[in-house]
Amino acid sequence: MNFQAMDPLPHSAPTQYQPTQFYAQLIHQVWTYILKLWSARNQDQGTITNHFPANMLTDHQGIYAAQDCLPPHTHHIYNYTQEELLLNPKPYIQNWIQNNQKYIQNKLKILTKQTRIKTQDIHQFFQPC
């Protein structure tokens, strides 16, 4: 069996790297790719921040649609109009939606339980002066 014929690259080839040179070149290429990818990602995020995902807008509209279903003492969460709220930064809107969705869900559970057992809301007894 001829082992020299099976070896595709002779060991004395001029393009052969030393192991340290090979790994240094590999690491350099990987990091160059990562940095290009990261900068492209950051540029995309900078241009997209003004746009809101569809589910966020749907949740926002749903909270304002639930305003009619809630009793008057819960309307303090609607301190902004829909348009004013959308002018705030995106993280603020996300937190507002998350907090108010939980609040509305809890209030609707309470209302359904009150109608089921036919009791009045305690807020009806303490009207503001």
More confident residue, 85 or 31: 31
Q: What is the count of structural domains for the chain? A: 2
In degrees rounded to 5, what are phi and psi of residue 68? Answer: -75, -25
Residues 108, 73 within the same domain: yes
The answer to whether residue 10 is domain-embedded is: no
Query: How many Å apart are CA 119 and CA 66, to the nearest integer?
Result: 22
Domain that holds residue 29: 15-48
The answer to whether residue 74 is domain-embedded is: yes
Residues 37, 81 within the same domain: no
Residues 43, 26 within the same domain: yes
pLDDT tens per residue, range 19-54: 888 899 999 999 999 999 888 877 755 444 456 777
Residues 34, 63 within the same domain: no
pLDDT tens per residue, range 44-83: 554 444 567 778 888 888 888 887 877 777 777 878 888 8
Let me know if 60 is exposed, middle or buried by CB neighbors in 10 A (0-12, 13-18, 19+). Answer: buried
Q: Which two tokens stand for residue 31?
A: 């990091």
